[in-house]
A = this chain, B = another copy of it.
């Protein structure tokens, strides 16, 4: 099975894959920016989703889970930002179902073809008087303006829209996949206030899509962290419109790996954009660990490093404080040999066999001025490798979170 090339579609948006349309508008839940959006497919799309592992799950998570379970098909996703509809009790469930019902009526589709997603403040009752009348006003389209209006409707403290589009060829047909996401705070392994909407025109059955998504999410979205907090509302949902015309994809299909690569590239790119836009962040930190006993171990070390507040502040302060990095290796609860650790940032070797190389602090500081920081660790006791992504910890993180509600 040869893996085909997957290429970036430079001006692609969430509606570049065939069959999808979007809309977004300002309903008044947030003060200024768009806060209500819809993703629509011209036919009921095959759907798969993964959800937050937080034991306190918001009403829209309950509703979407139950909804997808019915037929594994989704034709519309209604999304609001500004209010998470979490910890809102029975009224929250009623409100999420009302959003579903009103959206279904608007598009003349079945209730259980409508998924619901919310993000924002926890514990406030949904302002349904603002949301409901505005659902009727959502005006679908496929223009860049429509994509932007939709992208904006997802955001909370995000400073930019996250979006990506890739293409490949399967069975001689062009297959396109695109995504739009929101991130910011509470971003942590196993997801955190993170919503990702992925569209593709690939032909693939829901159970296959579900299998592929779980595999890929574990290597991508579950490897990012902003602050270690996991939210009540996370969701990644993939809709497949089947309009590309390829043969139905299964692991037996000879281009299955190409499809997995398409999905991996899409999820990894969204994950990196989310990490880069962690609250107050100025830099994306990418940690690559090799030489661990297993891939799981390597990923655990990578996450431990990228999640360390001390490493994050050191990167912000352009301080090549490898002592904090090696301390994070040590407390990752993974087997390592304290004597055999190699470490580098970008092209600069910091440690060989756990000993400083006598690197130039000045060069290291220069490197840390970059916006995309690579940290490489080789623990040299096995063949396990893994990656994780995060961001620096800055004054603005504190500022944003000390005054989010007030």
- A residues near B (Cβ < 8 Å) are 53-57, 84, 86-87, 89, 121-123, 185-186, 188, 227-232, 307-310, 313-314, 316-319, 321-324, 326-332, 334-336, 338-339, 351, 354-356, 365, 393-395, 397-399, 401-406
Contacts and interface: CB of A to CB of B under 8 A. Distances in A.
A265 to B, nearest CB: 29
A320 to B, nearest CB: 9
A173 to B, nearest CB: 42
Given A309-B228, A398-B313, A331 B55 contact: yes
A54 B331 contact: yes
A222 to B, nearest CB: 13
A394 B395 CA distance: 8
Contact of A123 (B356, B395, B398, B404): B356
Given A53-B331, A229-B324, 19 more contacts: A56-B338, A86-B323, A87-B323, A87-B355, A89-B339, A122-B326, A123-B326, A186-B327, A227-B308, A227-B309, A227-B310, A228-B309, A229-B328, A309-B397, A310-B401, A313-B397, A316-B398, A317-B404, A393-B401
A331 B57 contact: no
Contacts of A331: 53-55, 188, 229-230
Nearest to A316: B402
Contact of A57 (B123, B338, B365, B394): B338
A149 B306 CA distance: 38
B330 A232 contact: yes
A60 to B, nearest CB: 14
Given A54-B331, A323-B123, A355-B89, A228 B317 contact: no
B398 A310 contact: no
Contacts of A313: 397-398, 401-402
Contacts of A327: 54, 56, 86, 122, 186, 229-232
Given A327-B186, A338-B56, A354-B89, A309 B399 contact: no
19 contacts: A55-B329, A55-B335, A56-B327, A86-B323, A86-B327, A89-B354, A89-B355, A121-B323, A122-B322, A123-B322, A123-B356, A227-B308, A227-B310, A229-B308, A229-B328, A230-B330, A313-B397, A317-B401, A318-B406
Nearest to A280: B398
A105 B56 CA distance: 60
Counting from the closest, the 6 A-B pairs by CB-CB distance are: A122-B323, A317-B402, A56-B330, A313-B401, A230-B331, A54-B330
A84 B322 CA distance: 13
A309 to B, nearest CB: 4
A51 to B, nearest CB: 12
A292 B188 CA distance: 25
A317 B323 CA distance: 31
Q: Most chain-B Cβ atoms within 10 A of its Cβ — which of A89, A316, A324?
A: A324
A208 to B, nearest CB: 30
Contacts of A318: 406
A405 B319 contact: yes
A186 B327 CA distance: 9
Nearest to A341: B56
A227 B307 CA distance: 10
A55 B338 contact: yes
A165 to B, nearest CB: 32
A168 B323 CA distance: 42
Nearest to A356: B123
Contacts of A399: 395
Nearest to A309: B227
A331 B329 CA distance: 23
A393 B403 contact: no
A319 B55 contact: no
